[in-house]
Structure 1
Amino acid sequence: MAESKTYGIKKGLVVSLGALLASILAIGGIAFFLTFRVTVPAGYIGILNAKTGKSLSAGQILAKPGEKGIREDFLSPGRYYFNPWSYAIEIHQEINIPGEKIGVQESLVGDPLPAGEILAEPGQKGIQREILGPGTYRINPYATKIHLYDNVVIPAGKLGVQTSQVGKPLPAGKLLADEGEKGVLRQILTPGTYRINPFQIKVDIYDAINIPAGSVGVQVAKTGKIPDKDSVLVEPGERGVQKNLLPAGMHYVNPYEYDVIVVSIQAQKLDMDANPNTNITTKEGQMLETEAVDFPSKDGFQIVTDVTVEWSIDPDRVAEVVATIGIEDKIIDKVIRPNARSISRTEGSKYAAKDFIVGTGREEFQKTFFDKMRTFSQDRGILIHRALIRKITVPSEISEPIKQSVIAVEENLRNQQRIETAKSAAQLAQEEAFAEQNKRRVEGETQKIEQQLKAEAEAAQLNIKAKQRLEAAKINLESAEIEAQAILKTGTAEADVIKLKRTAEAEGLAASVSAFGDAKAFAMYQFASKLAPNIQVVFAPAGEGTLWNSLDDFFKIGETGAALKQMQQQSPQNQE
């Protein structure tokens, strides 16, 4: 019994110890699982930091296997078991680069860059040449630092000029860099989106060249071979004004390679007059000269003209004009304005003052002005479409008498028109025309005498300016004679009209008598037509005979005067 009891105690002890050991092992397993397990979630990486091993060399940042420190390799998402006394695990988020960005890599480890270098190659420390596009990357943050930059966006109507910040220096005298050279690159970027390392290429945005309709672009090359000979225009590849033009439209031109001058080839207008808005002034507003053209006439009077010139550049000589003269303002200052002044003064001084008012002088001056403006300007590559003398101002002592003369001529023309109208209408009386003719003849002669006396008096009084005033008096005299002649012609026409009217009335009366057959029948008609409206119908004995029998007796008397006398004696008034 005692042995059996002892065996039972030993057996229970063994079982208890077994259970305890099992529990210890279970607890240890759980503790090991919890202590040594490392989970790297999706979207992250695990950085190993070795707590034991060989110390790093001076300047070394990342540890290799067997060395103490941050390991170069890292853990991707997953489950791992590490001795926590040997390693510490750091969880870092993966690098995410959005679509509108780029990632510039800066290597924190590697060999130092050679002197003067900016970008690092693989294995070198510094900004890497290669960039990262949009996406997700697992990168050890202790090995490489990522800098986010915007994509280079060139909007519509713009261009990008690239400046390489790395490469070989440019040779002396060279302005634009080719591939592998440092400086402004010849190649430009047109509108679009670009992923460019900002430490390698700097991009500056410029406006594209927009040439509107009716214009062209003249290119001035800033680079290229210097021409061997002194020429206005150069060939492609040479420095200077190019022969080839850019047509209307959008053009992407490197501004460091070409200057583009937009030039209109449409017609333009220059007004040269006394308008204050067109006067030539300084920057301070002080007037230098009026735009109006003035010059002395052949007889010494000062003439002022307002001029309008319409011009354009010869489309086949645009580059030449820009190279030799310049653009619009220079063309006006060097060609249009000086030619207009010179021609006006040279040709205008060949005419007397009155020639610009009467006669063909003004038309001749206008034609000569246009022809010479066109010839002189065409030699410089400028086309003259119109050159108009819009207004000519002559001194009043000349213009006023001539003006009155012109008015008299116009009045004469109106009188002639009245004469023609009167002849066709035949409505004026001849006797009235004779009287009016005498009256106007007297007035005309009186005006003629007055003008002669006035001309003689003015000529005697104004001896100093005798030549000018004598010319004016003669013009007034000519005007008076023209008006007198017009009066005479008008009076004769009015008399003819009255004669025609009386003749027409007589002929009409004769035609009426002829239409009734004889004078008796016509008189009976006239008598009846005058009597009829006053007759009232009354039925009464009339005695022998009738009214018409009495009229028959009336016409038997013979002469018209006797018949009228008989009718007066038989009228009711005479009976009373």
Structure 2
Amino acid sequence: MLLNVVLDHWGYFAALVPIAVLLYASIVIVGGNEIALIERRWFGSKMPQGRVVALGNEVGIQARTLGPGLHFLIPFIYKATKSVFTEILDNEIGLIESVDGNAIPAGRIFAEVVTGHNSFQDGEAFIKNGGQKGPQIEVLPPGKYRINPYLFKLTKGTVTEIKDTEIGIVESVDGAAIPEGKIFARAVEGHASFQNGEAFIKNGGQKGPQIEIIPPGNYRINPYLFKVTKSLATKISEGEIGMVESSDGSAIPAGRIFANVVPGHNSFQDGEAFIKNGGQKGPQIEILPPGVYRIHPNLFRIMKAAAVVIAKGEVGMVTAQDGEPIPMGRLLAQSVPEHSNFENGEAFLKNGGQKGPQIDVLLPGTYRINLNLFQIQIAPAAVVEANKIGLVTALDGIPLPEREYVASPITGHNDYQDGSAFLTKSGQRGPQLDVLRPGTYYINPLMFSVAIDDVAVVERGQVGVIVSNVGDDPTEEMKKRLGSSQTGASIEEGKEKYVVPKGFRGIQEEVAGPGRYYLNRRAFMCYIIDTTNITIDWDDQEDTRFDQLTVISKDGFPIQVAVKVVIRVRPDQAPYMVAKVGSIDNLIQHVIHPMIDSSFRNQASTASAMNFLQSRSEEQSKAESRARIDLERYHVECVSVLICQIKLPEDLMETQTKRIIAEQQQEMYKMEQRSQAERTEMEKMRATADQQPTLVASEIAVKVATQKKAEMITLAEGTAEAQALEGTGEGKRLKAIGDGEASKIAAIGDATAQAYSKQKEAIGEDAIKQIKIVELISAAIENGQIKIVPDVLVSGGGTAGDGLMGQLTRLLPGVDLNALMAKGGKQPQA
């Protein structure tokens, strides 16, 4: 049945098959991520010369494309070729180069931007609207695009990423020419950080390095139009500063070193504002404090330097490299206000800051100072320790008057720490009167030099005599009553010249008592004078000031005298003593020593050596009186003059000693004589005492006889009488014995006295001989060899000396008496 139907309609089916085939060939189905590229093969106009892509009625590859969907094309006339979408990822951009279009004008590199092509997806509109052949300024952002690959050559590029610590430096490869003399292209508006190349070109963007930079972020920048170089942002750390030098801008005026400060450049981050506002090429006054800055490194060269740190106990000296010249005759630049310790260089220059060393200094602290503008030198502060003073010399100021050595004091300079105030108040150049007491002073060493000196110390028992080099000269009236020290002068006339009241130039009448004084030795000289007793010795000890005095006596003997002089200077007389002789040492060396030497020479020349020795007390009194009178003329009190020792020549002393020994021996003989007399009396008493038993016995016998007499009287008168006569005779016998013994003792004493008498008469021409004999006798007596009275004394012819020599020869056997006599200097006479 079906077959019959087919066979019946075979003609119709035969006609429909070609139609179906034609329909099938005419349908183009484009997928969702595809495009269809069309080529017109027949029945159309020819493309103009130089064209590559055809428009709608032209034969050739068509500029237009077919998007996703069902499309009908006349077979054999059009040929469709499918292609995938162009996809730009999120971190990518599409760079377009047109292979067809109008020619790019001469001098241009990139094609002009045309409208209506829908991000290059409508190639026909691109060509019709005047699109130019070559690289396109516009870029494709991330997305999917239906772009004709025959018309547009697409290259993918990466998004320009500028990190937080980076900046983008841009150089344009197209645009207007940079004016002559300029280095960087001027900034133009509307290019959205160089992402809109069309706006950049239309608004007059210039070819070459751009003054604008790209801050951190992601940017769709055409790398064919803009060459972007990444650089690190400028980071100024704590404790650092950034010094800036511009490579572009106006010229710095002649005579100046640093560029003027201009506003609005936001710490050199806005280079365009810097140039527009008149920024000058060269080193900049402004500096960068710590922080992060997006500064064009090709426009501004940043030099990092450590901040200026002035430690405790230090001072910073500043030298400006730019500014007005220092006036003639001045050493340091004048102080100007508002420069904030030289941190504001602009204010320094605007307010008339001068070039060169500055009078202001930097105190301890941290400073952000432009080291290109200001050179900093660090020096130790002036430190005055305990018991010290600082003597100050000003190196700048008005000249000192001709007769002045020390500058007149002024106030308000804060112990020389404010040099500007010192100069403002007409401080004088040279040594200053005011001193620095113990402490730390931040003084400009370029303005003031400080020398350390000891404080003036006046101990107990001393006074300080002050000699002033400053003050008014004494008046004529004052001079009339000064200067006379003649005998009989009045109290006023007796004052030494140049001893003046306080406030006048000269030796000050008022002395300084014990204590410590901050005394300027350049202005005031202090002479320390001892007011206690001062002892001066002349002897042979090593630690004494002078050797013992050697004087010549009247009889020509040299005498050595050890002397001690004690002096004292009263406090009220100390200035006059200084005016007279200068110092204690001068007083001792040039006054007292020659005075004492002369005094003792004069005294010794009027007396013999022995008399000088024997009248020592008188000589001492005379020397003291003379010294007291002489020293009063020098306002010095003589306490005492003491003669400690007098040394005569040895020969003279030996003779004197011998004479004294002889006198002593004579005295000894007298004593011996008295001793022998007493001995005789003693012997007599001893003999009497020895007979006492006999006498007692006789008395008892008498008593017994008397009793017996009464008993025996009747017995025998004759016997009793005989016994009585016998007793009487016995008594006479005993008496005779006693008288004889007494006579013996008396005879010995008389002989001894006679011998001493003769010895005394013998001393004279035979004095030495008798002295030696007496010495032998004394030695023999001490040794117990002889008795002082011989048992037998035989007298004969010759002298008493001969008798004595014979007796000594017998008593001292073995002793050579003649040799002893010879040793004594004289032989005994025969």
Structure 2 CA distance for partners of 1:28 and 1:118, relative to 1, 3 Å: same
1:54 Cα deviation after fit = 1.2
Structure 2 CA distance for partners of 1:209 and 1:414, relative to 1, 3 Å: farther
Structure 2 CA distance for partners of 1:302 and 1:143, relative to 1, 3 Å: same
Match of 2:293?
80
- Confirm or deny that 1:208 pairs with 2:455: yes
Distance 2:461 2:746 in 1: 71
Match of 1:225?
472
Partner SS for 2:549? coil
Match of 2:235?
39
Partner SS for 1:148? strand
- Confirm or deny that 1:27 pairs with 2:121: no
TM-score relative to the length of structure 2: 0.47
Structure 2 CA distance for partners of 1:337 and 1:308, relative to 1, 3 Å: same
Match of 1:67?
280
Structure 2 CA distance for partners of 1:435 and 1:27, relative to 1, 3 Å: farther
CA contact (8 A) 1:278 1:291 kept: no
Q: 1:315 aligns with which of 562, 570, 589?
A: 570
Match of 1:295?
553
Match of 1:5?
31
CA contact (8 A) 1:305 1:389 kept: no
Residue identity matched to 2:567: S
TM-score relative to the length of structure 1: 0.66
Query: Which is bigger in relative contact order (C-alpha 8 A, separation at least 6)?
Result: 1
Match of 2:441?
194
Higher mean displacement: 153-162 or 7-16 = 7-16
Equivalent positions of 1:565-576 (< 5 A) are none
Higher mean displacement: 236-245 or 5-14 = 5-14
Partner SS for 2:160? helix
CA contact (8 A) 2:564 2:644 kept: no
Equivalent positions of 1:32-431 (< 5 A) are 32=214, 33=216, 34-35=230-231, 37-63=233-259, 64-65=261-262, 66-120=279-333, 121-122=335-336, 123-178=353-408, 179=410, 180-228=427-475, 229=479, 230-231=482-483, 232=496, 233-272=499-538, 291-296=549-554, 300=555, 302=557, 304-316=559-571, 317-344=573-600, 347=603, 355-356=611-612, 361-393=615-647, 403-404=657-658, 406-407=660-661, 429-430=683-684
Match of 1:519?
none
Residue identity matched to 1:291: L
Instruction: Point out the structure with max Rg over C-alpha.
Output: 2
Cα deviation, 1:413-471, whole Å, max 9, x if unaligned, reads: 7789999999999996458996775565345434433334469x9xxxxxxxxxxxxxx
1:254 Cα deviation after fit = 1.4
CA contact (8 A) 2:550 2:559 kept: yes
Distance 1:414 1:342 in 2: 44
1:258 Cα deviation after fit = 1.8
Partner SS for 2:399? coil
Long gaps (5+) in structure 1: 282-289, 458-475, 481-493, 496-576
Long gaps (5+) in structure 2: 1-26, 36-66, 69-83, 94-140, 143-155, 169-213, 217-229, 263-278, 337-352, 411-426, 484-495, 685-741, 775-787, 790-830
CA contact (8 A) 1:219 1:258 kept: yes
Distance 1:385 1:245 in 2: 22
1:273 Cα deviation after fit = 5.5
Partner SS for 2:390? strand
Residue identity matched to 1:45: I
1:201 Cα deviation after fit = 0.3
CA contact (8 A) 2:462 2:528 kept: yes
Share of identical aligned residues, percent? 25
Residue identity matched to 1:125: K
Cα deviation, 1:7-57, whole Å, max 9, x if unaligned, reads: 644686364377533496742545543547332222222233323321222
Structure 2 CA distance for partners of 1:213 and 1:433, relative to 1, 3 Å: farther
CA contact (8 A) 1:295 1:344 kept: no
Match of 1:557?
none
Structure 2 CA distance for partners of 1:433 and 1:302, relative to 1, 3 Å: farther
Match of 1:510?
none
Distance 1:208 1:164 in 2: 21
Distance 2:252 2:751 in 1: 139
